[in-house]
Structure 1
Amino acid sequence: MSLNTTVKNRIAALVATPALNSLLALAARALMAFIFIMAGYGKITDYAGTAGYMTSMGVPEFLLPLVILVEFGGGIALLIGFQTRIAAGALAGFCVISGFIFHATPDQQIMLAKNLALAGGLLAFVRTGAGRPSVDGE
């Protein structure tokens, strides 16, 4: 058995333990949700500024409540594991759409890449669900 196979087997056995598996699921959700909760909260506390920025980028101001719902609400749902597949799918779509609207210029390429990477990570939650512990219990 090669060293690579041995390491893979040991990691697989380690993460298969229920306690560590639960800790990893919760940590993954918390780390992924953090950016959305903070961004949504920022939009709530600077509603007028955010509305002005959105309008300057050609996005109608009436969409701001929906943006807050997706970011803040979706982030909270992801954190607690409530309707995780739906929340993660909505957040993934939001990342792609907002990335191309707000970060599709040469000076914003890292931010666009961040949005696309977040979408990729969120699609893993669409595929696997929340894990345990979660409200969904999956």
Structure 2
Amino acid sequence: MTRPADSFIIFIARIALAILFLWGGAMKLLGYAGFVGYLHSKGVPYASYGAIVATAVELLGGIALVLGVRTRAVAFLLAVYAIATAILGHDFWNVTQAAAQQDAVIHFWKNVAIAGGFLLLTVTGAGRASVDGMRAPRGGGLRG
């Protein structure tokens, strides 16, 4: 059973992760043409479609995290997304300039760390302070 203090900490973790994705999704939406150009520069095939998918994943995923809706599945999807964006967007092994390479390394490992946070949410679930928590039976046992 999830204790109230644990649920509060899980809620804070969900909000912290969601802010990053809501902000990123909003910036992609507001600067859509620039984001498509960035994806083209990285060699992403069908960049205009990829931009739509990335923006939707970040905005809808962020909203789902805040509300705690299907948190385990959403968190797993966002963990995969964070790793994919690390590999595609922060490919430090292809960067030759030292300062740019160091920046890419930092962002790559930041994405890996974020994926780790999402994997923890995949295991813990949303806690009681969530839509998932309101749907869970109130008897004994583990809750998501």
Is 1:103 aligned to 2:90, yes or no?
A: yes
**Within the alignment, does 1:27 sit opposite 2:23 as a pair?**
no
Residue identity in the other structure for 2:52: P
Superposed CA RMSD in Å reads: 1.3
- Higher normalized contact order (CA 8 Å, seq sep 6+, divided by chain length): 2
TM-score, with normalisation over the residues of structure 2? 0.80
Tell me the residue number matched to 1:71.
58
Higher helix share: 1
Q: What's 1:121 paired with? A: 117
Alpha-carbon distance between aligned partners in 2 of 1:77 and 1:43, rounded to the nearest angstrom: 18
Q: 1:44 aligns with which of 22, 29, 46?
A: 29
Gap runs ≥5 in structure 1: 1-15
Q: Given that residues 7 and 126 in structure 2 are in contact (C-alpha distance below 8 angstroms), is that contact kept between their aligned partners in structure 1? A: no
Give the share of equivalent positions with the same residue, in percent: 39
In the TM superposition, what is the alpha-carbon distance from 1:75 to its structure 2 partner? Answer: 1.1
Task: Tell me, in whole angstroms, the C-alpha distance in 2 between the residues paired with 1:68 and 1:88.
Answer: 16
CA distance in 2, matches of 1:89, 1:17: 23
The runs of at least 4 consecutive aligned structure 1 residues that moved more than 6 Å come to: none
- Aligned residue-pair number: 122
Q: Distance in 1 between matches of 2:27 and 2:88?
A: 19
Q: Structure 2: how far apart are the matches of 1:54 and 1:29? A: 28
Structure 1 partner of 2:73: 86
Deviation, 1:17, is 4.9
Name the TM-score, length of structure 1 as normaliser. Answer: 0.83
Deviation, 1:22, is 2.8
In structure 1, distance between residues paired with 2:119 and 2:3: 24
Distance 1:94 1:103 in 2: 13
